[in-house]
Structure 1
Amino acid sequence: MSALSIEMIEGGVLSPEIKSSTPSRNTKLSNGIHGDDADRYGLKMNVRSLMEKWGHLMVYCMIFTVGFIAGPILFRLYFLHGGSRKWLSSALQSAGFPILLLPLGILYVKRDRAVPQADFFASPKLLISSILVGVLQGGSSFMYSYGLSFLPVSTSSILISTQLIFTALFGLILVRQKFSLFSINAVVLMTLGSVLLGVGQNGDSPEGVTSLQYLLGFVLSIGSAALGGFILPCIEVAYAKANKVITLPIMLQYQFFMAFSATIFSIIGMIVNKDFAAIPREASEFGLGKTEYYLVLVSSAVVLQIAYIGMLGIIFCATSLLAGVVSAASLPLTEIAAVIVFHEKFTGVKGMALAMGVWGFISYFYGSYKEHKKQTEEDNTKTSSKPIHHCSTVVDKIIG
């Protein structure tokens, strides 16, 4: 870098440290960079930042998908082989929160010392919001566990995918979520798929489950999806009103306190239902063995906590609606896993509902691609309309 210290050029806007001494667009800077070249450098940094954001988003989508698939399989395994404690399985969906202390500790030790320590920690307002959302999450987890105890994994997963519908609805109300024809198409397709599933599941009840229990499981699964659909926009609102930049450490702190609150909610239910006293007996009678019983419980807690991190990351990088779309898009893999592991029936009705879900997912992402492409073309047009100065060598040197 030359004598002129440029510490940050982001989106074509120079940092406050040098803004006052910035020459006009048609003059030449002391280091040989014209004002337009600085704009081009800012655009290049924007592109690089955008690529990093998409990379992070893909990672969050992957870990959310893995957790979304493995979680129902592990919980259904628990219920099929003798597990019956609904409050326990509800608590497991958030009880893995202590593992978040490891990445938080590493991030704290390796933080930039030049950044104020207060910027590392979430504000009290944001933490209070996470605790309140955690209570809602605890209620959603209980309804999900109760519903899954009476339903096949494949059916439960398709019902839970209706969360996208509620996310879209509450997103429109709470965060003024913008809808394109593609996102509307995705919501409509997944809604129709769920309705089709609901009216065409004769004979789908697992062995030993009565029609009344099946109906109760169906209703509770829809209720869990509705509450989950309300929670996602609430988190997005909390991020927007935080009055500070939402960093990875702050996101992990939000998840920590949200999961802690949800776990306390479920533990209270366990105490009332006397689940703690029943765990040793249930472990000794578990169909796969005592060791496997505890292994299933621990694995469930860890897998679901990882899934929640992915969910918050998707909201952080994109929107709550996308988090709902990714959960619905994970449905095909969950269906395949359930058929392979539990030999569940895969009927034509499920196939049609699945096809609608995949179609809706593709529609949403194609719409996002078109919107991103249009925005990129507009940015390029604005840049190309400016005078071009041949200082690429100096700019490349700075970028390098």
Structure 2
Amino acid sequence: MVRALVIINCIILAIGNCGGPLIMRLYFNNGGKSIWFSTFLETAGFPVIFIPLLVSYINRRSKNTNGSENTSFFLIKPRLLISAALIGILSGFDNYLYAYGIAYLPVSTAALIIASQLAFIAIFSYFMVSHKFTPFTINAVVLLTVGAAVLGMHTETDKPLHETHRQYIIGFLMTVAAAVMYAFILPLVELSYQKAKQPMSYTLVLEVQMVLCLLASIVSLVGMIIAGDFKALPKEAREFKLGEPLFYVVVVFSAVIWQGFFLGAIGLIFCASSLVSGIMISVLLPITEVLAVIFYHEKFQAEKGLSLALSLWGFVSYFYGEIKSDKDKRIQQETELPSASRTISEC
């Protein structure tokens, strides 16, 4: 069951992680201007979570013949609810930072910057949920950090023609800030699971996702009100380069695809850990890179190539370390079992 959940979450995370930035850039490339609105779309698809929650509720009701199980529609308790709400507020601001970056950066550049978050996830995981470092983890962290630094050099060469140098630099810094902030959010979700004081299930993960996205969406809506986006959106839809009908298609698909990203990310935290979730996000980087170059004909300079090579080297290093660690644990367990058996027989 756990393996099936891991596969499902990896698939929906892959769709959201690769498709989300591309469709967000499609919005900005064709006349979209509202950063707060694109921020809202990152979490506005949360009502779709009611469908699996309804299925889970019906399933619990049908199995609860003796009245021993909790048949409430929502299982989340106040402690976990408050944690999810606070994380949702943080996510709302983090989503704004990311949307700002995508508005002024090529998708390929933004993807490479986001890859650096794995280093921060490793650090935050160590202090927040006691994730152990290995030489391979440290190597991966160093390589990813150097890769992001390389990307920061000669940034002017990949600046879109219609943007100023100032806009590009601010977008770059906003994306870095988004990477650091989301690297803090992922271990925070894992810590919330550990401190929930109730048995965690995938149904609870869905409820956490819904609360998280609801609060993040409220933050975005407040931003839209302050920025006056509600008045500007009808005109923006009419002037959308692909046509008004396709404007709404982009909006709907954006909301649904981004929901896959967030659900896949916190689902993997439940099935494995925040670090594994961060690694999976980073592993999808090359796919996002290739898709950005294919669909948007983005430049791929030497700096991006070197950054990508260092990032991939970091991923391989981490995965090799995890495989080696698991192998060493199995060997240790196999050697301990015979010695334990001998001890018992001697007694």
Give the direction of change, closer, same or farther, for the CA distance of 1:357–1:147 in structure 2 (3 Å limit).
same
The SS at the match of 1:203 is helix
TM-score (norm 2): 0.93
Q: What's the counterpart of residue 288 of structure 2?
A: 334
The SS at the match of 1:202 is helix
Alignment of 1:35-46 (within 5 A): none
Distance in 2, matches of 1:62 and 1:239, equals: 22
Runs of 5+ unmatched residues, structure 2: 342-347
Compute the displacement of 1:233 (Å): 1.0
Q: Which protein, 1 or 2, shows the higher relative CO under an 8 Å CA cutoff with sep ≥ 6?
A: 2
Distance in 2, matches of 1:371 and 1:245, equals: 28
Distance in 2, matches of 1:200 and 1:54, equals: 43
Compute the displacement of 1:55 (Å): 3.9
Compute the displacement of 1:359 (Å): 1.4
The SS at the match of 2:81 is helix
Distance in 2, matches of 1:384 and 1:121, equals: 44
Distance in 1, matches of 2:102 and 2:325, equals: 38
Which has more radius of gyration?
A: 1
Give the direction of change, closer, same or farther, for the CA distance of 1:362–1:62 in structure 2 (3 Å limit).
farther
Q: What's the counterpart of residue 143 of structure 2?
A: 189
Compute the displacement of 1:108 (Å): 1.1
Q: What's the counterpart of residue 279 of structure 1?
A: 233
Compute the displacement of 1:381 (Å): 4.0
- Please tell me whether residue 76 in structure 1 is matched to residue 25 in structure 2: yes
Give the direction of change, closer, same or farther, for the CA distance of 1:68–1:366 in structure 2 (3 Å limit).
same
Alignment of 1:1-400 (within 5 A): 52-111=1-60, 112-113=63-64, 116-117=69-70, 121-383=75-337
Runs of 5+ unmatched residues, structure 1: 1-51, 388-400
Distance in 1, matches of 2:267 and 2:174, equals: 27
Counterpart residue type for residue 292 of structure 1: L
Question: Pairwise CA RMSD of aligned residues?
Answer: 1.8
Distance in 2, matches of 1:157 and 1:298, equals: 23
Counterpart residue type for residue 88 of structure 1: F
Distance in 2, matches of 1:252 and 1:383, equals: 40
Identity %: 41
Distance in 2, matches of 1:383 and 1:245, equals: 31
Give the direction of change, closer, same or farther, for the CA distance of 1:166–1:206 in structure 2 (3 Å limit).
same
- Give the structure with the larger helix fraction: 2
Counterpart residue type for residue 243 of structure 2: G
Q: Bigger shift: 248-257 or 60-69?
A: 60-69
Compute the displacement of 1:384 (Å): 5.2
Compute the displacement of 1:369 (Å): 1.5
Superposed CA deviations along residues 228-286 of structure 1, whole A, max 9, x for unmatched, are 01111111110000122210100000000000000000000111111112111111100
